[in-house]
Structure 1
């Protein structure tokens, strides 16, 4: 029924736009506005808040039927996303019909202009920008990174950068509608969004280039240096603290942005109250200061010549776009640096620089806080404070203030998690703190069955998890996630096969599970077949190509093993084991030069490699 409904809707949209005449641009613009409204409604309930109770269906004539089978429509929407990405959703999302509808409208509007059936495509240049935001949000809803969405984002962002990547393009497009300096802010925002996309998919170098361009366009320059100061209440001797110094090289703050400053100010005040950052409870949870206290005068600091070392004020007032640029550096550090305590300390100056700002947009404050929570939750001295901050942060999303209009600015320029992802992170923090009972309630509400099973296993109550999943299957027998979770907890391949059946053979997770099961019982040919099928659905799954190569190697299919390990090192050049196995395949195929190169790469990351014979090295060097 759902599939048929959207097919009919697509035909009706074509009929609405036909015939292509002088009124077509106006009709297309109307569809575009409806699409933006539907997309922002979904964004409000699933990303920025505040959560509002709105009809689950974006069509008036369907709202009377909501109580009758609406859950089936939502299951269809989830399966629709899975069919296009091969990945499950990351939790329970509301208003899924809205994003399906918005994507249909954006795609329809974009296509009729690209086909040249109406004039004045420049009238809706931002269609590519809004569609890229929607596709990126769709990726953020998915449990795994998917190649299909990445390819779409590459095309859409190329079009967006072509239209809005330079100040002169924006000024010629919007002309007198722009306030002073807004063109630079828009260029910076577009490059921030492009950098976030590349960062999500692990293309760190390209992401850094976009962030550098965003920094330049925002009129911001900054550097990290050392300043004497103390970080705890009981610290006596001042030590060097890493501090970020920012400077605006263009008077971007004079940007006739009175409305922007008013919005930023009100959102900041409301956001600070809701987040509870100024509460004594937060500050007393640890003797570690939120921001290091720097020495105030030259006498205390010593005789250094640098003003920074002499305790001068290190903070200046920054615009929201500049704060977003600063926080974007944390994304680079997360991807580039090793995941350890030092990584969080590298991010600290950027987090503290934004924390020190008197005015910030609500969403920027939230992003800054989640970065701080991840940092402080990794340290025993601040873990309790991190838990309190996370609790306040989750509560603030559901508060009625700030309003949606005060939360949406810059929400696409920072990588703040979706509400289900935020709550999942909260649940995982509760588990690490030993509060498994509270975490269970969150995971069950979000329908995160794998996390739920993990918690019940920690409590030694696996049978309860099985009964819970079976009860949900009685209500939703066509949900492949439930069948896969049941297969995980029971180690029964029949449930994975059922997941494939109800998903019309589109569940990549079920295929991967069957591939692992076949490999473990020694059926390497079957494992290879399932891995090939799974990677065809989602070629960006971590370690998927390595697993395919391993299964093919066991099955003595050297060509497929070579392909698998080559793709593995392309996606992760630091995978020493993949380089080692690739070298072994080259040895078997008598490709000594390629084997030597692969072993050389493997030795950069692994000290123990497959032991080749001495004659092998002799043959290479001869």
Structure 2
């Protein structure tokens, strides 16, 4: 198109009807766009000729800098300054090339403190020197002159965050996403700031926006999982945990978060079971009354029961989802804490045999030469041992077998024998009490067939 401007063929009579068909910019604007296209393709030399012909000095200076010809760029700027000494853009360009803050200050002087570009450049220099408070003030002044600059609001938020001004940082990042809603990094920073302020609902919404543009960041998914759990959305938290596991090949495991989820679901299960028992009892009483005093047609299922059934189904679905994640983890991660969580999940599901196997693996994970020297490790070991023996006792009570009781007795005796150095600890006394209870059950229990 640019080359065709000066061609004599086709003639004007053939060209002129097409001027009503499409929008054609002015010739200088078209040539400038062509030169910028050349720069993007790496044809800097060709672009320089066009910029020089159009007297687009900023673009010409930029091209010289790209070619590494800083001396030529400085010479060009000084030549222009000799003609226009009060042009703040030229002073800013000289500051960019020489990396000299004095040039930006001169630009502010000749512009009567109205050069937004100079203030932005000074703000960046202050940030790079670690003067975050100064950078924040300069960014505020720059954005007051030109507020329609998304990168500037983001930079203001970053400087304010470094200066520990959370409110100003939040305002900066919020203004950035108002101008550029696709800025995933800004959404992420907004979410993190809301987390700092303990505003989980706002953080949850911001993280959802950030994940639209940064779905490949496992750190973002991990933060999202914590906030989702804080707002009570266990399903979203589990989905985020599974995404993190898949993205990191099961290497990034947040045990504390999984423990919170297990604890939450255990509590929900307990509440639903107790409410279900109360509702069933009340329903039976109502049915008995209805059977005596009212026609059969008037008896119907109460809405509280429907509500409990709905919550029960939801809880069941979440438990299944959690189970898939825990199974995925224990197949690749054999830490004691994960075996403990897996055992708790199996117990909620009612599978006591598999639960005892998981607890046994947890106990074995704690064992080692360091166990009998580390009091904290012994605490965790003794807790796992007690849980294992409780499950053994439950299995024995339900099946009538004494084999599990003998296994519990043998385990407790071995532990107490080796843990004599911890005799002053409460955990040691708990193990002793558990052993006495197991012995009592063995003496009074049925004979195994």
TM-score, structure 2 normalization: 0.46
Q: Which has the higher contact order (CA 8 A, sep 6+)?
A: 1
The structure whose Rg is larger is 2
Q: More helix by proportion, 1 or 2?
A: 2
- Could you state the TM-score of these two structures normalised by the residue count of structure 1? 0.34
